[in-house]
């Protein structure tokens, strides 16, 4: 599957989770439910994937973690906040750049309609 095909399936799963749970929960609750749903759909999924920072010749394990990585291709950064801002976007782009991933989804579950809380993030050509 391509990154776009995977992303479309992820969005469908996220919509199901949001429809069942609604807004107002902690990010960790949405993460566990979306992880479960994606695994159930047959995807290879990693949650809280460590993301080291490489600076010159050293590899720094400084605690960066991708919320969810699907098929080793699509980064999912989850939020449950009043409003997404530039820092959230920068965080997603940083994880994508550090891992060499082309596509990310920044998803804020703390909205009435989930489609208003989803941002596709592209790093390079897709």
Per-residue pLDDT of the chain (126 residues; tens, 9 = 90+): 999 999 999 999 999 999 999 999 999 999 999 999 999 999 999 999 998 888 888 888 877 899 999 999 999 999 999 999 999 999 999 999 989 999 999 999 999 999 999 999 998 665
pTM: 0.92
Q: Which residue has the tokens 């999924």?
A: 45
Residue 52: exposure state from Cβ atoms within 10 A (0-12, 13-18, ≥19): middle
Number of Cβ within a 10 Å radius of residue 19: 9
What are the sequence ranges of the domains in the chain?
3-122
DSSP string of 33-82, one letter each residue? HHHHHHHHTT--EEEEEE-PEEETTEEE----EEEEEETTTEEEEEE-SS
């Amino acid at each position: 599957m391509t990154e776009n095909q995977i992303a479309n399936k992820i969005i469908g799963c996220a919509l199901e989770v949001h429809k069942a749970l609604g807004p107002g929960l902690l990010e960790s609750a949405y993460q566990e439910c979306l992880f479960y749903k994606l695994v159930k759909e047959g995807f290879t999924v990693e949650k809280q994937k460590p993301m080291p920072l490489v600076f010159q010749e050293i590899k720094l394990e400084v605690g960066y973690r991708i919320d969810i990585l699907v098929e080793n291709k699509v980064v999912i950064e989850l939020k449950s906040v009043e409003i997404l801002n530039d820092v959230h976007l920068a965080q997603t782009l940083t994880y994508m750049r550090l891992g060499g991933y082309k596509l990310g989804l920044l998803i804020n579950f703390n909205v009435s309609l989930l489609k208003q809380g989803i941002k596709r993030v592209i790093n390079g050509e897709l």
